[in-house]
Structure 1
Amino acid sequence: MTMLELESLNVNQRQAVDWNEGPMLVLAGPGAGKTRVLTTRVVRLIQGTPDKRFRVLALTFTTKAAEEMRGRVAQLLGPTMRRARLTTFHGFATDVLRQHGSHFGLRPDFTILNQDADRHLVLRDAMEQAGDAGIPSGATARGVLPLIDRLLRDGQDGREQQDAPLPFAAPGKEWIRPVYRSYIRLLIEGNHLDFGALLVCCLRLFNERPRIARDYGVVYPFACVDEYQDTNKVQDLLLRTLYPDRNANLFVVADDDQTIYQWNGASPERLRRLQQDYDMRVVQLPESFRCPPEVVDLANILIRHNVNRAPNKSPLASAVDSSPSRAVRVRRFADCAAELSWVAADIEARSLDPGTCTVLARNTKLVRAAAAALSHAGLPSHVVKRKAEFESPLLRFLHSALRLSNRPADLEQLAALCRAYQDLTAARVLPDDVEAESVFAGDSLLAGFLSAASACAATDARPLLDTLRDDLHDRAKYREFAKNTLAWRDRHRRTPNIDTDEETEERSTWGSLTREIRHQLGADPPLGQFLQQIDLRQKTPPPRPTDVQCLTIHLAKGKEFQHVYLTGLAEEQLPSYQAVQGGSSAMEEERRNCFVAITRVQSSLTLTHADSYFGWPKQPSRFLAEMGLHAGSMAC
């Protein structure tokens, strides 16, 4: 165990870290060291009470952020790390339901549906069961799913006696209630949950069995929550149910100026209600250890145009020395093709290391166009995107085989395994044949697959089936099966349809994820728990060190980059078309998007805009004028 060093904290950071009991809100601006403050507080609470047994709960929104926090805390706490639980909201709900979900019929080995296609299948059945509820004749699962998601984000648990007002314009939509109830029931009966249902069912458990919620509150009397401004209603309700006391030890880190997920249920008003309801002491961290003074000045000027902000909020202040070169530049172009071509040329002209540069845009279409322009110029690029499932045949085979081993009668996983095996080996195995073979193998679909696949296996595929049989089916050694499956690939040729770059990336991702999970759960967690953790995590491959990263503003949140090119600063781009057509609340959210984008910068910020995008004429973004920046002369 390493003793905590607090002298390097500034006065406000130290005040937050030293806070003992009662509720506190830390308003932390971009680059203010909030993660350090949160993790240091966790460590101080534990190191300062060596004779106590209570645990500290720390919640955040992404598995990457949780893993970073765990790494920092483990370094300082050593063996006493067991007293800290650092996880995401969904990770916490998964653990709770694995232990207590049996109260409403959920088994501990439940699976997590992270693909809309799988959710559509459940929803179609739910719509059929609620067929006499007045569902519009043209309604489809794809069209109804967004309404289901709204109800999930609203925390409605699907019990008829618990119907609450619908969180959207309700005339003619009362039919959604029986559909939603059927959807939740079918998820539980099928022993699987989607991400929204994880939180809803955890909340339902705490409401139906308040003693369980009280027990968690006793075990975790101190809670620390990161990025609270991003919570939706069900997450807020979950936290309040765990900590209903107005004097609870609830330590919340947030920044209302970075609330950019209103489409997912986040709201600046929710943060203010929390502060009022718990009468929270407020500490502000306005000092940015990331952004140059010129960028901080722009951010302050921009965000002042938002009316819906925390009262008496201190402006950002930069703790970074001014750059000897210009930290902020503005450029204008005739069209977006010229804009993005210039960005690529400018990176080369400034002799910048591509790996220190990022291109941001408000929408995915412009991000992809930027990556194409960089590639055309010979610069390596990486489009950052969310990826819930593996896509290469090798990793799909590995993942679906593990899932089928965990759920031996799962026909959907059998179909996925058959597809992956065919893509991997060019050998076709039909699910119907597997089901027939399984009758003679104790109704085990995995044994039936081995029998059917062995009958037509080429020489190269036999060692793959051997490790599937010996390591997974016979001995249930899933780690050895995974290791030997990857080793099989190294010894055997690839079929022509396989993208070797994608496979290499996903193998690296698999390795990173399994190391994270072992670090969190121990060297050999049960297969069901391992798979739940895999499903909770994104499968996005990391960029190479030499890549220019291209990503949307939403995906850039929580990150920082040396050199940022913010493209598309035009009306109906940033701000978006929807915000321009919407009201003041939508425009304030777009302004926060711009605020988040420019405060990713560590060294230089280049703002670009064009007179037309994809053939449509556009005016310069109002945000340029609000920041006091000239729209810029035409760049060549």
Structure 2
Amino acid sequence: MAAKLLEGLTPPQREAVVHRGGPLLVVAGAGSGKTRVLTRRIAHLIATGEAAPWQILAITFTNKAADEMRTRVAELVGPRAARMWVSTFHSACVRILRANADRLGYRGSFTIYDDLDSRRLVEIICRDLDLDTKRLPPRSILGMISQAKAAQQGPADFRAAATSLFERRAADVYDLYQQRMVAANAMDFDDLLLNAVRLFKEHPAVLEHYQARFTHVLIDEFQDTNAVQNELAKLLAGGHRNISVVGDSDQSVYRFRGADITNILEFEAAFPDATVVTLDQNFRSTQTILDAANSVIANNVGRKPKTLWTDGGAGDQIVRYRADDETDEADWVAHEITRLHREEGLRWGDVAVFYRTNAQSRALEESLVRVGVPYRVVGGTRFYDRREIRDVMAYLRVLVNPDDEVSWRRIVNVPKRGVGETSVARLAGWAGTQGISFGAAVARAEEAGVGAKAARGLTELVALLDQLRAEMIRPEPTGGEGDAPGNGSGVTEDGELELFPDRSSVPVEGHLGPGEVVVAVVERTGYRNELLAGGTIEALGRVENVDELAGVAGEHRTVAEFLEAASLVSDADQVETDGTNVSLMTMHIAKGLEFPAVFLVGMEDGVFPHLRSLGDPVELEEERRLAYVGITRAE
């Protein structure tokens, strides 16, 4: 089988696949078959017996990519591939933290806050501190907190480094934010990574367990890792040093999210004995397209040098259109797409239009509508960001984690039950003086001194939630003591006795599955009736969305499992294209996709490259990388 895994590979690809032991850096250019190399490498490790499936940790940057990798490896080595850990960094950290949360002052049922939840909590804290949110926007403060966490700065370190009034006020918010997060038994996305690092550093036995468990660590899209993810990788590979990373410095385009290109540029400094394999043969684009991409990226200094090439021929020339303005540009694009469809037989779904910012889509949409071209804006409002979905999800989150402040605040008066802002403020204030969570204060509403009507409504709500909590299937709390989670079976994957089995995924008690819980919530609270009372097409659409949520939830065993899966869905996981619509999207969203015909619009100073990059060499290099990504999406 091992020999068969090498069939059809180029010499560099084969070298990467068969690499035995020690650090490996695969510099994989756009369209060079990196996914194929990574999956074949994993399969080769298993087929040769160099590693058992359960000893492999493979990290991708989207759940979609993880599912694809798992499927491809299974096709090569069979069902035993299911015993690998293939996940995103965040998913892997959640899995580790669920089993060890008590060591860090959390419970295993902690809630995962997304950006909207975190921003809402920051808004609440700003109001409590009486801050002017026009001068100190919560979004900006949250951005500073996230940047601080990416740099592994806690509230005290951040305050010590603050030099401006804005930074000092942000430090005040950061301090309270972390206190409220712990009280709410919640972690944001940054916390998932930071707390995993903290766990490993404060509890060496836990780290040693995972180092022994995962004898091979493989990471895709390494150029997109941030400092904390890089440290996690080094910690996990610290014992055996069998770490394989695949990436392309020329496709590092997420600096605004904390991605640090130096992680891939300095990999050899961190691992001096690393083997480096360069994949520069492209299997997607024509040489004309590759020449354009090569010429753009060659101007960058911070990169791993390579020149993409193909044996597929030169192909058509790139068409350049100099437009008078954005309307003229959009009209030309719309008519050219129509021509490609009618004269060259391209399906609408074969065509994509990329732009630098979402604001550029308006003119394009207007022109496409005028000429009758079907299109889809990729990366619009996420399903889980819709109001009615967040309302129901908040109920589910409170069922699993009764201390979740943001979710409690969302549902206390949805549907209306006479609980106004005054009552909410009284509950929050009383919770603070009593040293209890907001959720605990809700359960003692009368004692907290809220009005009679509000207290009556909250008492009924708490009783309903208690009843649902008793009826729903839920996981048995993680049991055992010790330094590591297990797999819940009582034995490890290699047949040895497991001292500390992880029971967090074993459904117990109750009879309502997640889908049934969603239905029960919307029916018993009166939320469905409130939605229907709107009597509009939009209202009916919201009801349909809630019904769809029930269907999605029903695919999981427990509410907790469903909430975790939903919270870890990334923007990239939401990207879908089809054969019936032209795709409109930003170049950031386009990363990882490919199309027979691609239009790059707005390529002018101040638009693309973006205005903020002009005069800033570091930002300008990021813009070139973004252009490189856009160009190399074309087939």
TM-score (norm 2): 0.77
Instruction: Trace 1:538-553 onto structure 2 (pairs within 5 A).
Output: 538=570, 540=574, 542-553=576-587
Find the counterpart in structure 2 of residue 7 from structure 1. Answer: 7
| Pairing 1:215–2:209 present | yes
- Secondary structure (helix, strand or coil) at the match of 1:13 reads helix
| Pairing 1:27–2:21 present | no
Counterpart-to-counterpart distance in 1, 2:253 and 2:228: 17
Find the counterpart in structure 2 of residue 257 from structure 1. Answer: 250
| Pairing 1:335–2:309 present | no
Counterpart-to-counterpart distance in 2, 1:203 and 1:238: 6
Identify which range, 478-487 or 364-373, moves more after superposition: 478-487
Find the counterpart in structure 2 of residue 521 from structure 1. Answer: none
The one-letter amino acid paired with 1:439 is T
Aligned mate of 1:370, from 364, 383, 393: 364
Find the counterpart in structure 1 of residue 634 from structure 2. Answer: 601
Give how far 1:396 is off: 4.6
Q: Give CA deviations for 1:296-353 in whole Å, capped at 9, x if unaligned.
A: 111112211112222xx33101243443xx2411111111111111111111112231
Q: Percent identity at matched positions?
A: 29
Maintained 8 Å contact 2:185/2:401? no
Find the counterpart in structure 2 of residue 202 from structure 1. Answer: 196
Find the counterpart in structure 2 of residue 17 from structure 1. Answer: 17
Maintained 8 Å contact 1:390/1:506? no
| Pairing 1:568–2:602 present | yes
Counterpart-to-counterpart distance in 2, 1:554 and 1:127: 34
Please list every run of 5 or more consecutive structure 2 residues that lacks an aligned counterpart in the other structure: 421-452, 470-508
Find the counterpart in structure 2 of residue 379 from structure 1. Answer: 373
Counterpart-to-counterpart distance in 1, 2:313 and 2:255: 34
| Pairing 1:146–2:136 present | no
The one-letter amino acid paired with 1:554 is H
The one-letter amino acid paired with 1:29 is G
Counterpart-to-counterpart distance in 1, 2:211 and 2:515: 35
Maintained 8 Å contact 1:228/1:254? yes
Maintained 8 Å contact 2:185/2:403? no
Counterpart-to-counterpart distance in 1, 2:241 and 2:123: 39
Maintained 8 Å contact 2:148/2:158? no
Maintained 8 Å contact 1:122/1:186? no
When residues 442 and 367 of structure 1 are mapped into structure 2, their CA distance, relative to the original with a 3 A threshold, is closer
Aligned mate of 1:591, from 611, 621, 624: 624
Maintained 8 Å contact 1:32/1:286? yes
Identify which range, 11-20 or 383-392, moves more after superposition: 383-392
When residues 546 and 485 of structure 1 are mapped into structure 2, their CA distance, relative to the original with a 3 A threshold, is farther
When residues 188 and 314 of structure 1 are mapped into structure 2, their CA distance, relative to the original with a 3 A threshold, is same
When residues 435 and 12 of structure 1 are mapped into structure 2, their CA distance, relative to the original with a 3 A threshold, is farther
Give how far 1:5 is off: 3.0
When residues 121 and 401 of structure 1 are mapped into structure 2, their CA distance, relative to the original with a 3 A threshold, is closer
Maintained 8 Å contact 1:509/1:541? no
Number of positions where the alignment pairs a residue of Structure 1 with one of Structure 2? 553
Give how far 1:65 is off: 1.6
Find the counterpart in structure 2 of residue 106 from structure 1. Answer: 106
Find the counterpart in structure 1 of residue 265 from structure 2. Answer: 272
Find the counterpart in structure 1 of residue 502 from structure 2. Answer: none
Find the counterpart in structure 1 of residue 310 from structure 2. Answer: 318
Find the counterpart in structure 2 of residue 95 from structure 1. Answer: 95
When residues 146 and 493 of structure 1 are mapped into structure 2, their CA distance, relative to the original with a 3 A threshold, is closer
Aligned mate of 2:334, from 311, 324, 344: 344
The one-letter amino acid paired with 2:152 is G
Maintained 8 Å contact 2:149/2:194? yes
Find the counterpart in structure 2 of residue 528 from structure 1. Answer: 560
Find the counterpart in structure 2 of residue 188 from structure 1. Answer: 182
- Secondary structure (helix, strand or coil) at the match of 2:8 reads coil
Give how far 1:542 is off: 3.2
| Pairing 1:282–2:276 present | yes
Maintained 8 Å contact 2:184/2:405? no
TM-score (norm 1): 0.77
When residues 382 and 419 of structure 1 are mapped into structure 2, their CA distance, relative to the original with a 3 A threshold, is farther
When residues 343 and 508 of structure 1 are mapped into structure 2, their CA distance, relative to the original with a 3 A threshold, is farther
- Secondary structure (helix, strand or coil) at the match of 2:598 reads strand
Q: Give CA deviations for 1:573-609 in whole Å, capped at 9, x if unaligned.
A: 11110111x321111111111111000011xxxxxxx
- Secondary structure (helix, strand or coil) at the match of 1:57 reads strand
Identify which range, 184-193 or 332-341, moves more after superposition: 184-193
Counterpart-to-counterpart distance in 2, 1:225 and 1:202: 17
When residues 122 and 365 of structure 1 are mapped into structure 2, their CA distance, relative to the original with a 3 A threshold, is closer
Find the counterpart in structure 2 of residue 498 from structure 1. Answer: 538
Counterpart-to-counterpart distance in 1, 2:373 and 2:594: 20
Counterpart-to-counterpart distance in 2, 1:299 and 1:508: 42
Identify which range, 348-357 or 550-559, moves more after superposition: 348-357
Counterpart-to-counterpart distance in 2, 1:377 and 1:508: 33
Q: Give CA deviations for 1:165-214 in whole Å, capped at 9, x if unaligned.
A: 85x97798456556434322321221111111111111111121122122
Counterpart-to-counterpart distance in 1, 2:233 and 2:355: 33
Counterpart-to-counterpart distance in 2, 1:302 and 1:138: 39
The CA RMSD measured in Å over matched residues stands at 3.8
The one-letter amino acid paired with 2:141 is V
Counterpart-to-counterpart distance in 1, 2:512 and 2:106: 23
Counterpart-to-counterpart distance in 2, 1:344 and 1:499: 34
Counterpart-to-counterpart distance in 1, 2:141 and 2:392: 33
| Pairing 1:298–2:292 present | yes
Give how far 1:377 is off: 2.1
Counterpart-to-counterpart distance in 1, 2:80 and 2:395: 36
- Secondary structure (helix, strand or coil) at the match of 2:7 reads coil
Give how far 1:429 is off: 4.5
Q: Give CA deviations for 1:89-147 in whole Å, capped at 9, x if unaligned.
A: 11111111111111122111111111335434256438968x9xx99995453442221
The one-letter amino acid paired with 2:629 is V
Give how far 1:508 is off: 6.8
Give how far 1:251 is off: 0.2
- Secondary structure (helix, strand or coil) at the match of 1:376 reads helix
Find the counterpart in structure 1 of residue 426 from structure 2. Answer: none
Find the counterpart in structure 2 of residue 45 from structure 1. Answer: 45
Counterpart-to-counterpart distance in 2, 1:68 and 1:306: 32
Give how far 1:447 is off: 5.2
Find the counterpart in structure 2 of residue 633 from structure 1. Answer: none
When residues 157 and 237 of structure 1 are mapped into structure 2, their CA distance, relative to the original with a 3 A threshold, is farther
Find the counterpart in structure 1 of residue 513 from structure 2. Answer: 477
Find the counterpart in structure 2 of residue 469 from structure 1. Answer: none
- Secondary structure (helix, strand or coil) at the match of 1:331 reads coil
